[in-house]
Chain A
């Protein structure tokens, strides 16, 4: 149970960082929409899980937040990437690509390659 949320949180956090990197400052709903659009149904339900992740990132200093006005002129909390967040994104992207490459190679390997 705990394990699963951690994995989800980890990937979610990376997605949040990438989203903010690409689109600039966004409020929670905007981030959720964006991730939904790209990832399909990962966030189709339980969009709320995004908020604890945002808080964690903020506490780590990867994102910062301010109050601002949303498109329908309501008060909304806008999140933006900090310099540290950008660094973190770089490192984690690399890590991720490395892991993905290894796993990918692992799956492609055939029985005769391993012998």
Chain B
């Protein structure tokens, strides 16, 4: 208690120091005056009286010192003094301060940004209770997340490891609330979905297992909080309203809790519908189809005390029973568990790898910045060696001087960190509202939280300590006598110092970054001009789903034919084709095919799994896909005609052995139908740009109808003008049909997204690395020139040529640049092999890459050494020698 009280009084005293000093001075004066008077009365002379009084009082300064120590907190007081002094010093050299703060701000900002994304996507648990025990089921060797509904029911009811298993599928549906019909993203969820995830409604009620009373028994909607907010304007009266989903009446029964948008972190659906109403939403009823694995994800909380390994064993034993009971539909029914937030390893693994890579690079940037600032600080410490020497000579402790230097470093670190975090917060906010694919509800909710700010603060402090520590040895070794005597020592070091090494490493790091970003950019540019097996330029994609407007069965192909004819009649349209789905579109569809000789059509006997496209006769023409031999379809290839297909060359090779054998040959599909190959098309890219050649087959849409409709409209007319014309034409056919129209090149954003993001990130990091290197080399060169000004002046006076002067002044900087760049280039070539996984055709074996990197590094060197070189060349030896 006593101690606390003293502490607080002392704390308060910090503020009132000046008046207290005054008080002591007055008391001392009074004391001595009284003693002097006493002494006078004792008969001493006035001078002697005062002398005796002072002697008796003791050392005034020592007592003042004691008094101060008693009164305040010496440590805080010193710290404040250091901070004030540091601020004054920094204000005196605004250039240095600005460079240091900006350098650090960039580095800390980069780290905060990358960490925030990592935090949001990987580290932060899902926004549901007890997320740490929530696992998603993955099936088989390929770790597929999708399941069929009957399998889901068996897994749910027979397992003894999970509290409950919930499942959902995702789809797009037309929502008509009375105003204009629009398409929305729907999660078809099992009745126990919300109960299983332990969620409570924000408003109204959520679904319960009791809602499920057979197919189409639960026409209810639960809105996400976001959709309720944006489309119903927080209207509490929305609950209870009846709206049309694909022309079926559904009742809105509730609103999900705020912040819950499903269990995939980046996917934000608009509303939830019970899974038993699949037929009304998706147009087909697969509730009893064991072979149709359309349930996107199945997950549940592990029971208390059950380990994931035990749960897997439990699931595997159920899987074995299912395999035995349903050999036709179920095989490879072994299970693994993983987190649902990024769909297990499917997206999680590449995302983690990418973000870890980015984090590593950001870390390197921070290291480079620290190296840089360490250099600058060392240079400054050397410049201030006279000041340090003077303070040492006057009796300052080395510790106090070091503390002073560290205070400066930490101050800069904090300022840089603050600026960096502010910058990254702005960037992250923009990233959070950004929708990379307008077509899909993909949101990256990466707003920074307390974790991010904490990490940024720690990083700032750590880097402050790191670069503040660089000049420590220098200060500890300072010999005040030598320095004050001889002035700053312009020793021309021939030795390679640690500082040189650090800078070399930094240049190398920068070269690595520049190399990989050049490789990425080149790969991206090349992939934009590579052959996809279709031509996205001068083509528009218009897509809709006829189901959304209530079309059924035979109405669908008839309507599709009408749509094709109507759009073809628009002026300027060269050709129109229908394809489902559009290739390189996120949701590629594949099917199993068997050789004609295979009798037992179980999945294990399949010859291949191939991409499957349902097209209209005109599609190849409209898409610009080359037909290598045979014919395309015609309008007679309908459901009454024999089944036919056009396959690509990879298909022909894989199933038939060669292209010539394939023409006119037959294969079987998983339902047993024999299909004749009537044409061979060129290969293309179907799922991703980086894929190897994949087998694909095209089927006439009249023989395999589907309500999903993608129209490829080829025209040399501007897509901006054509799009409204297409919209009007289709609107005339059916005003209740939501259509999405976009240039095909725009649609290519999806497959190119990963590559673009990688390139952008690398580019940003590369630019940062380059800027850091420039400041680093600049600092070093400028320092070297100013240190050796006198020597250079003498050299010039003795007749040195410009070249020799430059060599003397900047030789070391150029050497470092050359060695660093070479090392970085080599390292960059090695690391950019990794890039090939993300960016199509990224290869460092490319003269342009090599040339680009060398050019960039030369430019960087030139920029960094320009000013110091000018200064070295403009030395006037006469004036310089006169000055000293």
User: Which residues of A line the B interface, CB within 8 A?
Assistant: 27-29, 32-33, 44-49, 51-52, 55-56, 59-61, 70, 72, 74-77
Q: A52-B63, A55-B67, A59-B10 are in contact. Are A72 and B56 (CB under 8 A)?
A: no
Please state if A28 and B31 are interface contacts (CB–CB under 8 Å): yes
Q: A59-B9, A60-B2, A61-B5 are in contact. Are A48 and B60 (CB under 8 A)?
A: yes
| A77 shortest CB reach to chain B, Å | 5
Q: A29-B35, A55-B71, A60-B5 are in contact. Are A45 and B27 (CB under 8 A)?
A: no
Q: A51-B67, A52-B66, A52-B67 are in contact. Are A27 and B30 (CB under 8 A)?
A: yes
Please state if B34 and A29 are interface contacts (CB–CB under 8 Å): yes
**In the complex, A55→B35 CA distance in Å?**
21
Interface residue? B57 (CB, 8 A): yes
Please state if A75 and B26 are interface contacts (CB–CB under 8 Å): yes
Closest to A88 in B: B2
Please state if B27 and A47 are interface contacts (CB–CB under 8 Å): no
Inter-chain contacts of A33 with B (CB < 8 A): 38
Please state if A48 and B2 are interface contacts (CB–CB under 8 Å): no
Please state if A76 and B24 are interface contacts (CB–CB under 8 Å): no
Inter-chain contacts of B95 with A (CB < 8 A): none
Beyond A45-B58, A49-B63, A55-B67, 9 extra complex contacts between A and B, CB < 8 Å: A27-B27, A33-B38, A44-B56, A51-B28, A52-B63, A55-B71, A59-B10, A60-B2, A76-B30
From A27, A56, A76, B70 is in contact (CB under 8 Å) with A56
Please state if B70 and A55 are interface contacts (CB–CB under 8 Å): yes
Please state if B5 and A59 are interface contacts (CB–CB under 8 Å): yes
Which residues B53-78 have CB closer than 8 A to chain A? 55-60, 62-63, 66-67, 69-71
Please state if A74 and B2 are interface contacts (CB–CB under 8 Å): no
Interface residue? B23 (CB, 8 A): yes
**In the complex, A68→B449 CA distance in Å?**
58
**In the complex, A55→B24 CA distance in Å?**
10
**In the complex, A49→B35 CA distance in Å?**
15
Interface residue? B6 (CB, 8 A): yes
**In the complex, A40→B509 CA distance in Å?**
76
Inter-chain contacts of A77 with B (CB < 8 A): 23, 26-27, 30
Inter-chain contacts of A59 with B (CB < 8 A): 5-6, 9-10, 70-71
Inter-chain contacts of A75 with B (CB < 8 A): 26, 30
**In the complex, A44→B30 CA distance in Å?**
18
Please state if B30 and A74 are interface contacts (CB–CB under 8 Å): yes
Which residues B559-588 have CB closer than 8 A to chain A? none
Please state if B66 and A49 are interface contacts (CB–CB under 8 Å): yes
Closest A-B pairs by Cβ, 7 of them: A46-B58, A48-B63, A29-B34, A48-B58, A52-B66, A52-B70, A59-B9
Please state if B30 and A60 are interface contacts (CB–CB under 8 Å): no
Inter-chain contacts of B66 with A (CB < 8 A): 49, 52
| A2 shortest CB reach to chain B, Å | 11
Inter-chain contacts of A44 with B (CB < 8 A): 56
Inter-chain contacts of B58 with A (CB < 8 A): 45-49
Inter-chain contacts of B2 with A (CB < 8 A): 60
Inter-chain contacts of A28 with B (CB < 8 A): 27, 30-31
Please state if A74 and B57 are interface contacts (CB–CB under 8 Å): no
Please state if A72 and B37 are interface contacts (CB–CB under 8 Å): yes
Interface residue? B390 (CB, 8 A): no
| A91 shortest CB reach to chain B, Å | 12
Interface residue? B33 (CB, 8 A): yes
| B3 shortest CB reach to chain A, Å | 10
Inter-chain contacts of A48 with B (CB < 8 A): 28, 31, 57-60, 62-63
Closest to B10 in A: A59
Inter-chain contacts of B26 with A (CB < 8 A): 75, 77
Inter-chain contacts of B70 with A (CB < 8 A): 52, 55-56, 59
**In the complex, A70→B34 CA distance in Å?**
9
From A27, A51, A60, B63 is in contact (CB under 8 Å) with A51
Q: A-facing mask of B795-828, CB < 8 A → 1, else 0?
A: 0000000000000000000000000000000000
Complex A-B: 20 CB contacts under 8 Å: A44-B56, A45-B56, A45-B58, A46-B57, A47-B31, A47-B57, A47-B58, A48-B58, A48-B60, A51-B67, A55-B71, A56-B70, A59-B70, A60-B5, A61-B5, A72-B37, A74-B30, A74-B33, A75-B30, A77-B23
Which residues B586-625 have CB closer than 8 A to chain A? none
Inter-chain contacts of B5 with A (CB < 8 A): 59-61
| B37 shortest CB reach to chain A, Å | 7
Q: A49-B58, A51-B67 are in contact. Are A32 and B6 (CB under 8 A)?
A: no
**In the complex, A67→B597 CA distance in Å?**
115
Inter-chain contacts of B30 with A (CB < 8 A): 27-29, 70, 74-77
**In the complex, A72→B56 CA distance in Å?**
21
**In the complex, A96→B30 CA distance in Å?**
33
Inter-chain contacts of B9 with A (CB < 8 A): 59
| B734 shortest CB reach to chain A, Å | 88
Inter-chain contacts of B28 with A (CB < 8 A): 48, 51
From A32, A46, A55, A61, B31 is in contact (CB under 8 Å) with A32
**In the complex, A33→B59 CA distance in Å?**
18
Please state if A51 and B37 are interface contacts (CB–CB under 8 Å): no
**In the complex, A72→B62 CA distance in Å?**
28
**In the complex, A70→B71 CA distance in Å?**
25
| B42 shortest CB reach to chain A, Å | 13
| B34 shortest CB reach to chain A, Å | 4
Which residues B1-19 have CB closer than 8 A to chain A? 2, 5-6, 9-10
Closest to B32 in A: A29
Inter-chain contacts of A70 with B (CB < 8 A): 30, 34
Q: A59-B5, A61-B5 are in contact. Are A51 and B33 (CB under 8 A)?
A: no
Closest to A48 in B: B63
**In the complex, A84→B55 CA distance in Å?**
34
| A84 shortest CB reach to chain B, Å | 10
From A45, A46, A52, A72, B34 is in contact (CB under 8 Å) with A72
Inter-chain contacts of A52 with B (CB < 8 A): 63, 66-67, 69-70
Interface centre among B10, B23, B30, B31 (most CB of A within 10 A): B31
**In the complex, A78→B6 CA distance in Å?**
21
**In the complex, A55→B72 CA distance in Å?**
11
Q: A52-B66, A52-B70, A56-B70 are in contact. Are A29 and B55 (CB under 8 A)?
A: no
Closest to A55 in B: B70
Inter-chain contacts of B33 with A (CB < 8 A): 72, 74
Closest to B56 in A: A47
| A67 shortest CB reach to chain B, Å | 9
**In the complex, A59→B62 CA distance in Å?**
20
Inter-chain contacts of B56 with A (CB < 8 A): 44-45, 47
Closest to B61 in A: A48
Closest to B66 in A: A52
**In the complex, A51→B358 CA distance in Å?**
62
**In the complex, A32→B58 CA distance in Å?**
13
| B250 shortest CB reach to chain A, Å | 75
**In the complex, A41→B877 CA distance in Å?**
71
**In the complex, A47→B37 CA distance in Å?**
16
| A1 shortest CB reach to chain B, Å | 12
**In the complex, A32→B57 CA distance in Å?**
10
**In the complex, A96→B70 CA distance in Å?**
24
Inter-chain contacts of A29 with B (CB < 8 A): 30-31, 34-35
**In the complex, A23→B133 CA distance in Å?**
76
**In the complex, A48→B10 CA distance in Å?**
21
Closest to A43 in B: B56
Inter-chain contacts of A56 with B (CB < 8 A): 6, 70
Q: A-facing mask of B438-480, CB < 8 A → 1, else 0?
A: 0000000000000000000000000000000000000000000
| B146 shortest CB reach to chain A, Å | 74
**In the complex, A9→B2 CA distance in Å?**
16
Inter-chain contacts of A76 with B (CB < 8 A): 27, 30
Q: A-facing mask of B713-756, CB < 8 A → 1, else 0?
A: 00000000000000000000000000000000000000000000
| B420 shortest CB reach to chain A, Å | 43
**In the complex, A44→B52 CA distance in Å?**
11
| B92 shortest CB reach to chain A, Å | 37
Inter-chain contacts of B59 with A (CB < 8 A): 46, 48
Inter-chain contacts of A61 with B (CB < 8 A): 5
Please state if B63 and A45 are interface contacts (CB–CB under 8 Å): no
